[in-house]
Amino acid sequence: MSILRNYLDKIRPNFEESGRLHAFKSIYDGMDTFLYVPNATSKSGTNIHDSIDSKRIMSMVVIALVPAMLFGMYNVGYQNYLAAGTLSSATFAEVFLFGFLAVLPKIIVSYAVGLGIEFAWAQWKGEEIQEGFLVSGILIPLIVPVNCPLWALAVAVAFAVVFAKEIFGGTGMNIFNVALVARAFLFFSYPTEMSGDTVWVAKDSIFGFGNQLPDAFTCATPLGAIGSGSAAQYSLCDMVLGFIPGSIGETSVIAIAAGAVVLLWTGIASWKTMLSVFVGGGLTAFLFSASGMTPLPWYEHLVLGGFAFGAVFMATDPVTGARTEAGKWVFGFIIGTLAVIIRVMNPGYPEGMMLAVLFANMFAPLIDYCVVERNISKRMKRLKTKK
């Protein structure tokens, strides 16, 4: 590593203001800070120093997403081999490699388009390249169906990065979750590529792996089947383990829980937000179930679709979520409640979590404002009482 460090230091003068490559200084700084922790220190003023920075936060979130990503790859292969009736004769490696080859292009396209825009934007504005898309780049492929076309994914990533992030000022300034904006763009612009019963199972073999399924093959998600009036033919065990059709990284509650442990152990995500999402969703689902408005038991709402994934990785976004401690309870509760209400009351949106999080993002600043004003009011009352 010292060789790489010495090389970067050697070429640094070329990217300084008087260097022949000074126009690409932001790109050099981005690569340097991605590989190494910056050694710049404050020269004046009072500053608080901590052992964690945005790069470490983003890296830990990516690590937390790895279990869901790996299981999603396996499940993509599992669903293909299961649909073809060849699962019993396939090895674990064959199933996983097919899923890996099906998912990898989506990850590559997401990062290539998103980081390309980030680099170009930073170069145009003469600013440092930010690390925010490290997480969004992996989140976006995990929340789309396996049959989502690469061209549509590229358009959605470009739209989300420009209109949901950069136009607000970049990382830390965006109001809405960037990954969910990309998914919403796909959902409303290309609905046939994001919903229905033809987009959840990969149909083409890849480099000899997988099976060629008929173009007319269909397979609905459990929520999609219920929304259309059919019964979900999956056990609770399948729902928890994740052996069901769905978006690539959203099916396995166990894999998502492993990521939640990482986020909570490192202190990156708020347990209050996570818990309140499940409490709000569970209570709302229980009321709907008790009134006979949904055929699902209340607990199945918490393990189906993107509910668990949204609670762990979307609702806990420190940029677009509530930041006050009391506000986190309210923010999460709103998400959980809205997600189930949308599912039950509007069959046209069987998922619900995407719209619930985006709606809550819009009100997160208001929630924090009300909490702060309430605290100020309480302190003023205590001050008057002492006088």
The helix or strand, by DSSP H or E, that contains position 274, with its residue range, turns out to be: helix 271-290
Q: For the chain, give the number of residues.
A: 387
Q: Rounded distance, CA 362 to CA 145, Å? A: 26
Q: Which residues pair with 209 in a beta bridge?
A: 206
First to last CA, the chain: 64
Model confidence at 145, in pLDDT bands (50, 70, 90)? very high
**3 has a pLDDT exceeding 80:** no
Mean pLDDT of 143-167: 95
Residues 129, 174 contacting (CB under 8 angstroms): no
Helices 54-84 and 253-265, axial angle in degrees (round to 10) = 170
**How far from the centroid of its chain's Cα atoms is residue 124's Cα?**
28
Q: Rounded distance, CA 384 to CA 234, Å? A: 61
For every residue of 50-96, DSSP letters joined together read -S--HHHHHHHHHHHHHHHHHHHHHHHHHHHHHHHT-GGG--HHHHH
77 CB-side CA count, 13 A? 26
What does the pLDDT look like over 238-280, one tens digit per residue?
Answer: 999 999 999 999 999 999 999 999 999 999 999 999 999 999 9
Q: Which of 4, 65, 66 is nearest to 34 (CA)?
A: 4
- Structure token digits, residue 374: 């309430």
Q: Which of 81, 111, 190 is nearest to 145 (CA)?
A: 190
**46 has a pLDDT exceeding 70:** no
Range of weakest confidence among 154-168, 223-237, 325-339: 223-237
Helices 133-142 and 54-84, axial angle in degrees (round to 10) = 10
**127 has a pLDDT exceeding 60:** yes
**Which pLDDT score is estimated for 153?**
97
**Which pLDDT score is estimated for 387?**
59
**How far from the centroid of its chain's Cα atoms is residue 262's Cα?**
15
Residues 336, 277 contacting (CB under 8 angstroms): yes
Residues 338, 359 contacting (CB under 8 angstroms): yes
Instruction: Provide the phi-psi class of 129: left if phi over 0, else alpha when psi is between -120 and 50, else beta.
Output: beta
Q: Rounded distance, CA 359 to CA 337, Å? A: 12
**45 has a pLDDT exceeding 60:** no
- Average pLDDT along the chain: 88
**Which pLDDT score is estimated for 40?**
60
Global pTM? 0.88
Residue carrying the six token digits 């145009």: 124
- Structure token digits, residue 122: 């930073």
Instruction: Provide the phi-psi class of 231: left if phi over 0, else alpha when psi is between -120 and 50, else beta.
Output: beta
Q: Rounded distance, CA 228 to CA 231, Å? A: 9
Residues 276, 336 contacting (CB under 8 angstroms): yes
Instruction: Please state, in angstroms and as integers, the Cα–Cα distance from residue 297 to each residue in 292, 302, 337, following that order.
Output: 10, 10, 15
For every residue of 89-138, DSSP letters joined together read G--HHHHHHHHHHHHHHHHHHHHHHHHHHHHHHHHHHT-PPPSTHHHHHH
**386 has a pLDDT exceeding 80:** no
Residues 317, 171 contacting (CB under 8 angstroms): no
Mean pLDDT of 106-111: 96
**337 has a pLDDT exceeding 70:** yes
What would you measure as the largest C-alpha separation in the chain, in angstroms? 81
**Which pLDDT score is estimated for 41?**
57
**Which pLDDT score is estimated for 112?**
94
Model confidence at 16, in pLDDT bands (50, 70, 90)? confident
Mean pLDDT of 57-75: 94
In sequence order, the 6+-apart residues with CB closer than 8 A to the CB of 33 are 55, 128, 129, 131
SS3 for 209? strand
Q: Which of 63, 103, 46, 48 is nearest to 80 (CA)?
A: 103
**Which pLDDT score is estimated for 120?**
82
Q: Which residues pair with 206 in a beta bridge?
A: 209
Q: For residue 182, report the phi and psi dihedrals to the nearest 5 degrees.
A: -60, -45
